[in-house]
Amino acid sequence: MEKSNISRVRREARAARAALKPAHVADAQLDHLERMIRSLVLAGNQKAFACLDHAYWKRRLAALGDESDLVSTQRARVLRLFDLLAQDHAAGPDKAAA
């Protein structure tokens, strides 16, 4: 019984990985997200990004991770971008004055 459960779990894991987009496809999206998030963080005028707020970019990053079979370096880039958004959000609207 235990062996059949292990086999089932392995089959399900393989099927889940097969449904994901390959890592090389995610590179272009990740490059775009990096450029845009860095622009958001460096922009002194937050109104320019009013409709594309931190929550939007977090959803985009999460979707990329959920839909793609990312390699470790890509996962690290995604985590760095999440950290960058969190730091920028914590700095608040007064960061431009600093």
Per-residue confidence of the chain (98 residues) as pLDDT tens digits? Answer: 466 777 777 776 666 666 788 888 899 999 999 998 888 888 766 665 667 788 889 999 999 999 998 999 999 999 999 999 888 877 765 554 44
Residue 6 within any structural domain of the chain: no
In a domain, 75, yes or no: yes
**What are 28's two structure tokens?**
């272009």
Count of C-beta atoms within a 10 Å radius of residue 78: 20
- Domains of the chain: total: 1
The three-point CA angle 28-56-74 to 5° equals 35
**pTM listed for this prediction:** 0.70
Task: Give the structural domain span for 71.
Answer: 20-97
